[in-house]
């Protein structure tokens, strides 16, 4: 059986903020606060696949999304779409730019409140030169609104006239307007009610089946991950600490942090949680712990964990960045 080619690849992806001092900082001789938001991230995405990137707030998930989409240029590493640098695709407005689109967390702020819904959806089609004739643009907008469960007549309305769930449908229609192959979803349902979340997620799965879309799904909601993902990458303080199939991650997590995330999910079974998750807040990303960044919260940490940064290594079909992964598996 021939393995599917990689559609999207991140290799050694890194992003550091605050690398240069501001004028005021230079005048006062203040050292700028440097934050390595993402460090050495690698992943692959195949056509039609959903890869979920999960972790606590502040772990670097959204930074990865912006780098992968071409909205930010990473300070280290590279993102490739179909073998081409994503930075070059975005900077030079190459034809492949239409193939990678993004759905943001807040559908209201991501839509221009002064534009009609129809104009917001039509703009990517027009700007990227897919279609410029008004009549044909209107037909395409009407079709896209229908695909996401809205009415063609909604094209003449403004974002404030819709509910949060409807606005997210509009944002998804806009992302679909260029007929992309990859959609990056940055917490697309976190601002919505639970019942509306289910509707949006089911619609996204239907659209994926219909169009063969690949999703990079950024979320902290493990319920969403279980419903949407084929594979899961778990991030902690800018690094991926575990990567595997959804079933492997949910049934037999190997990294202590992944186990902590699973144990933090509310359960109706009073006997489900044998041990509570470790206490403590996420360390300062500008001054992360030496060695394994999770060691300050890990119940299995040893002195050697402070000395060595663990690499992702294969273990029972998953990849785990933990110096004690073999021992803990036993």
Q: How far apart are CA 85 and CA 88, in angstroms?
A: 5
Only one residue has tokens 């976190």, namely: 190
- Predicted local distance difference test score (pLDDT) of residue 24: 75
In tens, the pLDDT along 193-204 reads 888 899 999 999
64 CA to centre of own chain: 7
- Put residue 228 in one of left, alpha, beta given phi > 0 → left and psi -120 to 50 → alpha: alpha
Task: For residue 147, give the 3-state DSSP assignment.
Answer: helix
**Among the listed residues 232, 179, 182, 194, the one whose alpha carbon sits nearest the alpha carbon of residue 61:** 232
Whether 156 is covered by a domain: the verdict is no
Burial of 248 from C-beta contacts in 10 A (0-12 / 13-18 / 19+): middle
Whether 94 is covered by a domain: the verdict is yes
State the maximum Cα–Cα separation within the chain, in Å, rounded to a whole number.
68
Whether 321 is covered by a domain: the verdict is no
Structural domain including 73 reads 8-99+180-272
- For 175, the token pair is 């992302």
**Residue 31 DSSP code:** P
- Predicted local distance difference test score (pLDDT) of residue 271: 54
**Residue 217 DSSP code:** E
Which stretches does DSSP call E strand in 104-204?
182-186
Whether 15 is covered by a domain: the verdict is yes
Only one residue has tokens 């209107």, namely: 138
Geometric angle at alpha carbon 198, from 196 and 203, rounded to 5°: 100
Whether 294 is covered by a domain: the verdict is no
> In sequence order, which residues have a C-beta less than 8 Å from that of residue 93 and are 6 or more positions away?
128
Q: State how many domains the chain has.
A: 1
Q: How far apart are CA 65 and CA 139, in angstroms?
A: 31
Whether 53 is covered by a domain: the verdict is yes
* 234 contacts 308 by C-beta, under 8 angstroms: no
* 111 contacts 95 by C-beta, under 8 angstroms: no
Q: Is the pTM of this model over 0.85?
A: yes
Q: How far apart are CA 143 and CA 152, in angstroms?
A: 7
Whether 232 is covered by a domain: the verdict is yes
Whether 320 is covered by a domain: the verdict is no
Segments of the chain with pLDDT less than 50? 1-2, 273
- Predicted local distance difference test score (pLDDT) of residue 1: 40
* CATH number of the domain where residue 39 is located: 3.40.50.300
Backbone angles phi, psi at 277, to 5 degrees: -65, 150
């Amino acid at each position: 059986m021939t393995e599917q080619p990689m559609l999207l690849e991140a290799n050694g992806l890194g992003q550091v903020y605050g690398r240069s001092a501001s004028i005021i900082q230079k005048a006062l001789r203040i050292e700028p606060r440097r934050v390595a938001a993402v460090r050495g991230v690698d992943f692959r995405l195949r056509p039609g696949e959903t890869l979920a990137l999960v972790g606590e707030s502040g772990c670097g998930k959204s930074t990865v999304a912006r780098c992968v989409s071409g909205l930010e240029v990473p300070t280290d590493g590279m993102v490739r779409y179909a073998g081409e640098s994503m930075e070059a695709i975005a900077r030079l407005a190459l034809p492949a730019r239409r193939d990678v689109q993004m759905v943001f967390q807040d559908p209201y702020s991501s839509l221009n409140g002064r534009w009609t819904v129809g104009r917001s959806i039509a703009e990517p089609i027009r700007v990227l030169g897919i279609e410029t004739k008004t009549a044909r643009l209107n037909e395409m907008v009407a079709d896209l609104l229908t695909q996401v469960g809205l009415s063609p007549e909604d094209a003449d309305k403004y974002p404030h006239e819709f509910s949060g769930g409807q606005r997210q449908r509009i944002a998804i229609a806009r992302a679909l307007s260029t007929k992309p192959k990859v959609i990056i979803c940055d917490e697309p349902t976190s601002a919505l009610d639970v019942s509306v979340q289910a509707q949006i997620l089911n619609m996204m799965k239907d659209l994926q089946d219909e169009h063969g879309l690949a999703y990079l799904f950024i979320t902290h909601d493990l319920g969403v991950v279980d419903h949407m993902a084929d594979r899961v990458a778990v991030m902690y303080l800018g690094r991926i600490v575990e990567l595997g199939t959804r079933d492997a991650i949910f049934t037999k997590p190997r990294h202590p942090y992944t186990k902590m995330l699973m144990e933090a999910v509310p359960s109706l079974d009073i006997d489900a949680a044998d041990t509570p998750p470790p206490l403590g807040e996420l360390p300062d990303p500008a001054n992360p712990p030496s060695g394994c960044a999770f060691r300050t919260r890990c119940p299995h940490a040893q002195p050697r964990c402070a000395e060595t940064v663990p690499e992702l290594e294969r273990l029972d079909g998953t990849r785990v960045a933990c110096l004690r992964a073999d021992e803990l598996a036993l």
